């Protein structure tokens, strides 16, 4: 999609439109025409909107400024670029508050008209004057584009980088290097680029700098330090083949090099080993980690290297060799940051290998360390292993101990396994009670779905119905909710319980505002009743929700649920999904615990679980024969529906791919080549996500938890966690995912997936 088409979609959805296209703007000066404006509809007609704005300009309203700027935006949409130029020029003087924005749009229009020299000069002047923070990144994008299209690099002389913030300064330095390269001054360009890498080799400017240095012809043989900087940048951005090439060259020169410190040398060797690790060359990586551990004297660094060597051996399924290496990682620094992981790894491998005595000895060591999380993970690993094998003689004590060490969200996992224990000891009433507590915490999370499956078994169904019927006779809100969950919506008493709960909550002063969330009429918006001193406030008052998005919480605060809901809704309709979701989640935190998610208005739940790019998601999911709601859940948790999201691990776009994975998948979506910028295009990112889920579905034979875990932590790690399991029970796999981050990711994706199916699948969305 072209930039102009995207601009049309954004602006047209962001402008406040009349309830009727034929509504005549009122003539009384004292009446604000904005009060007659209602929804932000994606199908707004820019020609009609332009006529409305021009009519309003002829009947000026005190305190209603910025119409000339808005007119320019609409003129661009209807392809009247020359007139837009005049509007922006006029807006610079008529609305000083929006002067920087008008200058930016003026430069943008000049670029669109094929005048890169003029555009570059205008945007350079804007940057030289110290623009608002929100304009720095788009202005630098426009500058790069204008110079690439033929603008004069001399305009860079007037820009002082210190006024642009650290990110802006680094991007400006990159632009200067590009200009030096164009001028044939490769030495100056390399100096700029290597200076960028010296100060930071992790951000996106560093990636571009490294790519430019590696692609060019250096004036001199690169030094060991240059290779180190390039290698670290490529490693951080997951371009491992290039990383290995440059890191190896740097390491080869370490003996004679005096420009790399001992700490840097260690980091370089560690990055080389990790690069091989991420390429799944575990044998090579393990040898490098082992060598690094032997050559290192710092306990924490030695422990880290030994632990990573142990992981390599474990992933190669060389468990008997991995265990003593994990032991070394623990002994090097028993109280250090790697000790918990090393101890737990030993316990799991001993137990899964049938060496129970050795595993239980490690459990005693863990208990003596009194680290609650570490002890809980060990106990749950052991208890779940026994329970899926129908052994209950030891699990009761382990789970009681785990319960004492658990609070918050982790209680659901413990309660689920307590329910499994109660089933094995033939106590169906107690099993139902434990499963009920799992459902009450969050009926959409993975353990809640596992609990539902258990409650549906013939052995528990009568007890569950009996408890549900008993709870339905209670007056307590929590009991009514539990009855509805236990009996389900297909049961008449379950439906009645839920309706009774809704009625009771509707008269609850704290809950009722959330049950009754509706869009506030514009006449009640404080935004339209104030004079504005900030540009983002004025942009928002003009209906330019994308440009004014940073001001939404000021004017639509979460302290007023109706206003906050309205602000989130308007942002969603304007395509600002990430910020809309952010506001909706803050608002959701204020919902009383006694109000279940199922009773919240569907419109609010859809703000919490948006289906933006729905057409693309449905199309690509259909092409790959995968579930579109799983893809939607992954997009929500990976990027929050931000098409330009960039993670600290260099993953990009809606579906958050690192470049090597994207390039490997390129042929599956009919592409010969993928560049980093391509991953910011929704069409490309969604297609890649669907193709990768198809690949994972085939590899794991539709095993949903393993597919999701592999998306986050890699396929080899998903296989390793599966090897810990004694069964195909998904709940056992959930518990045996060892990385806290990945357990959280699995929980979030599966929870979102449940919401998406509930909100959209029934409607055939």
pLDDT-derived band at 17 (thresholds 50, 70, 90) equals very low
β-sheet bridge partners, residue 657: 652
- What is the dihedral sign for C-alpha 438, 440, 443, 445? negative
Q: Which of 178, 202, 218 is the last residue of a domain?
A: 218
Q: What is the pLDDT of residues 724-759, one digit of tens each?
A: 999 999 999 999 999 999 999 999 999 999 999 999
Q: What's the rounded Cα separation, in Å, for the pair 144 and 154?
A: 13
Q: What's the rounded Cα separation, in Å, for the pair 29 and 37?
A: 16
* Residue 123 burial (C-beta neighbours within 10 Å; 0-12, 13-18, 19+): buried
H or E segment and range at residue 554: helix 552-555
Does residue 20 carry a pLDDT above 50? no
Does residue 201 carry a pLDDT above 70? yes
Place of tokens 């007659």: 36
Is 500:509 a contact under the CB 8 Å cutoff?
no
Residues 6+ apart with CB under 8 A from 260: 224, 225, 228, 250, 254, 268
Residue 672 lies in a domain: yes
115 token code pair: 């005048």
Q: What is the pLDDT of residues 134-143, one digit of tens each?
A: 999 999 999 9
Q: What's the rounded Cα separation, in Å, for the pair 624 and 157?
A: 51
Residue 731 lies in a domain: yes
261 token code pair: 């410190």
Q: What is the pLDDT of residues 539-576, one digit of tens each?
A: 998 889 999 999 999 999 999 999 999 999 999 999 99
Does residue 9 carry a pLDDT above 70? no
101-115, 210-224, 326-340, 702-716: range with lowest mean pLDDT:
210-224
Residues 6+ apart with CB under 8 A from 351: 359, 381, 382, 385
> Which runs of consecutive H residues, i.e. helices, occur in 59-199?
67-77, 81-94, 99-112, 116-128, 133-148, 165-182, 186-199
Mean pLDDT for the stretch of residues 331-357: 97
Per-residue confidence (pLDDT) for residue 35, from 0 to 100: 55
CB atoms within 10 A of CB 186: 16
Q: What's the rounded Cα separation, in Å, for the pair 398 and 396?
A: 6
Q: What is the 3-state secondary structure (H, E, C) of 45-74?
A: CHHHHHHHHHHHHHCCCCCCCCHHHHHHHH
Is 237:650 a contact under the CB 8 Å cutoff?
yes
Q: What is the pLDDT of residues 660-710, one digit of tens each?
A: 999 999 999 999 999 999 999 999 999 999 999 999 999 999 999 999 999
pLDDT-derived band at 765 (thresholds 50, 70, 90) equals low
Q: What is the pLDDT of residues 273-311, one digit of tens each?
A: 999 999 999 999 999 999 999 999 999 999 999 999 999
Per-residue confidence (pLDDT) for residue 747, from 0 to 100: 97
- SS3 (DSSP) at 646: strand
CATH number of the domain that 654 lies in?
A: 1.10.530.10
Mean pLDDT for the stretch of residues 602-631: 97
Residue 582 lies in a domain: no
653 token code pair: 């776009």
Nearest Cα to 751, choosing from 438, 436, 408, 442?
442
* Residue 277 burial (C-beta neighbours within 10 Å; 0-12, 13-18, 19+): buried
Most confident of 53-62, 64-73, 649-658: 649-658
Q: What's the rounded Cα separation, in Å, for the pair 760 and 765?
A: 5
Please state whether 354 falls in left (phi above 0), alpha (psi between -120 and 50) or beta: left
Per-residue confidence (pLDDT) for residue 31, from 0 to 100: 54
Higher-pLDDT residue of 63, 436? 436
CA distances (Å), origin 451, targets 166, 411, 437: 50, 13, 10
151 token code pair: 């603008």
User: Considering the chain, what is the average pLDDT of its residues?
Assistant: 91
Percentage of the chain lying above the pLDDT 70 cut: 92
53-67, 169-183, 648-662, 743-757: range with lowest mean pLDDT:
53-67
Q: Which of 165, 197, 218 is the last residue of a domain?
A: 218
Number of domains in the chain: 2
CATH number of the domain that 91 lies in?
A: 1.25.40.10
510 token code pair: 């704290």
Residue 367 lies in a domain: no
Per-residue confidence (pLDDT) for residue 48, from 0 to 100: 79
Per-residue confidence (pLDDT) for residue 283, from 0 to 100: 98
Residue 538 lies in a domain: no
Residue 74 lies in a domain: yes
Q: What's the rounded Cα separation, in Å, for the pair 721 and 706?
A: 9
Residue 419 lies in a domain: no
Is 15:40 a contact under the CB 8 Å cutoff?
yes
pLDDT-derived band at 29 (thresholds 50, 70, 90) equals very low
Per-residue confidence (pLDDT) for residue 648, from 0 to 100: 86
Q: What is the pLDDT of residues 392-446, one digit of tens each?
A: 999 999 999 999 999 888 899 999 999 999 999 999 999 999 999 999 999 999 9
Is 210:201 a contact under the CB 8 Å cutoff?
yes
**Where in the sequence is the domain holding 51, given as residue range(s)?**
3-218
Residues 6+ apart with CB under 8 A from 13: 40, 41, 42, 44, 545, 573, 574, 575
Does residue 18 carry a pLDDT above 70? no
Phi–psi pair at 652, nearest 5 degrees:
-125, 155
Q: Which of 157, 184, 218 is the last residue of a domain?
A: 218
Residue 80 lies in a domain: yes
Phi–psi pair at 125, nearest 5 degrees:
-65, -40
């Amino acid at each position: 999609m072209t930039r102009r088409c995207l601009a049309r979609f954004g602006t047209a959805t962001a402008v406040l439109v009349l309830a009727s296209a034929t509504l005549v703007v009122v003539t009384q000066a004292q009446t604000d025409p904005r009060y007659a404006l209602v929804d932000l509809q994606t199908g707004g007609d820019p020609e009609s909107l332009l006529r409305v704005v021009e009519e309003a300009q002829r009947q000026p309203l005190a305190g209603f400024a910025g119409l000339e700027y808005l007119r320019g935006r609409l003129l661009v949409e209807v392809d009247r670029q020359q007139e837009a130029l005049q509007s922006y020029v006029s807006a610079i003087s008529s609305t000083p508050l929006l002067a920087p924005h008008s200058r930016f749009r003026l430069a943008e229009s000049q670029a669109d008209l094929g005048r890169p020299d003029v555009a570059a000069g205008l945007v350079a002047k804007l940057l030289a004057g110290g623009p608002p923070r929100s304009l720095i990144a788009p202005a630098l994008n426009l500058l790069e584009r204008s110079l690439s299209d033929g603008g004069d690099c001399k305009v860079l002389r007037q820009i002082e980088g210190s006024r642009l913030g650290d990110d802006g300064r680094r991007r400006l330095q990159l632009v200067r290097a590009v200009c030096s390269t164009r001028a044939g001054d490769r030495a100056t360009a390399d100096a700029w680029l290597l200076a960028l890498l010296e100060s930071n080799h992790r951000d996106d400017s560093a990636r571009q700098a490294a790519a430019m240095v590696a692609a060019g012809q250096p004036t001199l043989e690169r030094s060991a330090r240059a290779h180190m900087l390039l290698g670290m940048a490529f490693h951080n951005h997951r371009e491992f083949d290039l990383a290995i090439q440059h890191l190896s060259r740097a390491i080869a020169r370490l003996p004679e090099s005096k420009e790399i410190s001992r700490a840097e040398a260690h980091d370089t060797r560690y990055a080389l080993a990790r690069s091989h690790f991420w390429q799944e060359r575990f044998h090579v990586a393990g040898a490098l980690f082992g060598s690094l551990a032997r050559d290192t004297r710092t306990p924490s660094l030695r422990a880290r290297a030994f632990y990573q060597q142990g992981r390599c051996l474990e992933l190669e399924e060389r468990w008997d060799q991995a265990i003593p290496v994990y032991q070394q990682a623990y002994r090097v620094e028993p109280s250090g940051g790697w000790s918990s992981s090393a101890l737990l790894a030993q316990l799991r491998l001993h137990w899964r290998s049938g060496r129970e005595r050795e595993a239980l000895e490690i459990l005693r060591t863990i208990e003596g360390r009194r680290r609650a999380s570490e002890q809980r993970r060990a106990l749950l690993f052991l208890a779940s292993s026994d329970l899926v094998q129908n052994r209950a003689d030891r699990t009761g004590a382990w789970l009681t101990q785990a319960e004492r060490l658990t609070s918050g969200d982790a209680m659901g996992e413990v309660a689920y396994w307590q329910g499994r224990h109660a089933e094995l000891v033939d106590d169906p009433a107690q099993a139902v009670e434990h499963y009920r507590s799992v459902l009450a915490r969050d009926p959409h999370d993975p353990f809640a779905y596992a609990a539902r499956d258990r409650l549906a078994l013939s052995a528990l169904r009568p007890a569950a119905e009996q408890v549900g019927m008993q709870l339905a006779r209670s007056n307590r809100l929590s009991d009514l909710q539990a009855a509805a969950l236990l009996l389900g919506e297909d049961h008449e008493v379950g439906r009645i319980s839920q309706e009774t709960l809704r009625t009771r909550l509707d008269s609850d002063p704290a809950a009722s505002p959330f049950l009754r969330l509706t869009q506030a009429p514009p006449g009640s918006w404080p935004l339209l009743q104030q004079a504005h001193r900030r540009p983002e406030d004025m942009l928002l008052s003009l209906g330019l929700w994308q440009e004014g998005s940073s001001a939404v919480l000021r004017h639509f605060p979460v302290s007023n649920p109706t206003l906050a809901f309205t602000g989130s809704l308007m942002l969603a309709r304007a395509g600002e999904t990430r910020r809309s979701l952010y506001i909706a989640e803050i608002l959701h935190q204020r919902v009383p615990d006694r109000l279940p998610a199922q009773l919240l208005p569907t419109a609010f739940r859809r703000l919490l679980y948006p289906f933006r790019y729905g057409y693309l998601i449905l199309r690509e999911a259909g092409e790959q024969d995968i579930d579109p709601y799983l893809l939607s859940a992954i997009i929500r948790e990976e990027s929050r529906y931000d098409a330009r999201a960039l993670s600290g691990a260099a993953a990009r776009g809606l579906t958050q791919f690192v470049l090597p994975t994207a390039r490997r998948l390129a042929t599956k979506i009919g592409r010969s080549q993928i560049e980093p910028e391509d991953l910011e295009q929704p069409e490309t990112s969604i297609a890649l996500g669907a193709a990768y889920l198809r690949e994972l579905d085939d590899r794991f034979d539709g095993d949903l938890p393993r597919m999701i875990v592999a998306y986050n932590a890699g396929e080899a790690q998903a296989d390793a966690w599966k090897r810990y399991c004694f069964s195909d029970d998904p709940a056992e796999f959930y518990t045996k995912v060892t990385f806290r981050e990945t357990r959280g990711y699995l929980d979030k994706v599966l929870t979102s997936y449940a919401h998406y199916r509930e909100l959209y699948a029934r409607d055939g969305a």
